[in-house]
Amino acid sequence: MLDEVERWLTRRSWSVSDRTLDELLAAKVRHGSRVSVVLPALDEQETVGEIVATIRRELMTRAVPLVDELVVIDSGSRDRTAAVAAAAGARVVHRDTILPRIPALPGKGEVLWRSLLVTSGDIVCFVDADLREFSADFVSGIVGPLLTEPGVQFVKGMYDRPLGEETGEGGRVTELVARPLLNLHWPLLAGFVQPLGGEYAARRSLLERLPFPVGYGVELGLLVDALHTVGLDALAQVDVGVRKHRHQDGRALGRMAAAIYRTAQLRLARGHLVRPRLTQFERGADGFEPLTHAVDTEERPPMESVVEYRSRRVA
């Protein structure tokens, strides 16, 4: 098993510098590919505008653009996220206007799943909307193998994740929860540097066949299901440098960890959770007070099973 992972690391791990933008554009024209970039956003007015502006300036202004459409899916922001994104040049779609016959659930995975209905690219690239000091390498890097390697179907970004001034100390849920789970139960995925990272790209033909956990478990769920669907050699990762973003507090990380564990548990046993809730504690005036949160337990079916999606493809 370790030998197989090591061979995969040699064959399917690259750096963004391994492919020039001109090479990617030539491959895109040769294959007639279309690339969609999706930013799921909730109260990200401070960062979403710069991300959109950078992608448009560096990847959408050439005669043959690398990115054909850039869509921000707003999941109910209370700030100016939608206005800022639109002013920067993105097409903004509100989550609740997509597939309205199915009431929307809160969660990032819900937004990513619905985005397949309002994008058209045969390559879909997801980018978190809270990134700071954003580089277009995050998009060109992870799209690259999908344009130049016919056997690759799913590409994760890998990067250093600093926590404040501490290099490599970000990604706490990855190191404490996701990486142990993957190494123990899906050892073929042990070579992924950032299995929970929010920057990844895939062929639409794969994404539409996968179920989407509605919440924080979406990245782990898609990665595991992609492995079982297309095999390790169809998965890849690209080093795109350093990722800086807003960090969650400890309690939010606990809720994230619970959702990720639940996603793993479901894939291991397809069984029910004994208690799909997480109790955390916060000190109040009279001592520690329990706060109980529901753990995401919903998953959306593969998009190819949704009648509206099938109808759109026929049309």
Q: What is the pLDDT of residue 279?
A: 58
Q: What SS3 state is found at 17?
A: helix
Is 160's pLDDT higher than 90?
A: no
Please check the confidence at residue 197 and state whether its pLDDT lies above 50.
Answer: yes
Q: What is the pLDDT of residue 37?
A: 98
Contact 305, 210 (CB under 8 A): no
Confidence (pTM): 0.87
pLDDT of residue 294 exceeding 90: no
Domain that holds residue 30: 2-314
Report the alpha-carbon distance of residue 206 to residue 105 in Å, rounded: 23
Cα–Cα distances in angstroms (integers) from residue 223 to residues 24, 96, 201, in the given order = 24, 26, 11
Q: Which of 6-10, 36-40, 119-123, 160-164 has the lowest mean pLDDT?
A: 160-164
Whichever domain contains 232, its CATH number is 3.90.550.10
Instruction: Give the single-character DSSP code of 296.
Output: P
Alpha helices, H only, 154-249: 172-173, 179-185, 204-207, 218-230
64-93 confidence digits (pLDDT tens): 999 999 999 999 999 999 999 999 999 999
The pLDDT score that the predictor gives to residue 297 is: 65
**pLDDT value at position 312?**
84
237-258 pLDDT, tens digit each: 999 988 875 666 778 788 889 8
Give the model's pLDDT for residue 170.
47
Q: Is the pLDDT of residue 271 over 80?
A: no
- Asked whether residue 165 carries a pLDDT value surpassing 80, the answer given is no
Average pLDDT across the chain, whole number: 89
Question: Which one-letter amino acid corresponds to residue 12?
Answer: R
Q: What is the mean pLDDT of residues 173-194?
A: 88
Domain count, the chain: 1
Show the tokens assigned to 283.
Answer: 């000190």
Q: What's 167's DSSP letter?
A: T
**pLDDT tens across 97-154, in order?**
999 999 999 999 999 999 999 999 999 999 999 999 999 999 999 999 999 999 999 9
Tell me the C-alpha distance between 28 and 261, whole Å.
Answer: 38
Per the structure block, which two tokens stand in for 105? 């659930």
pLDDT at 164: 52
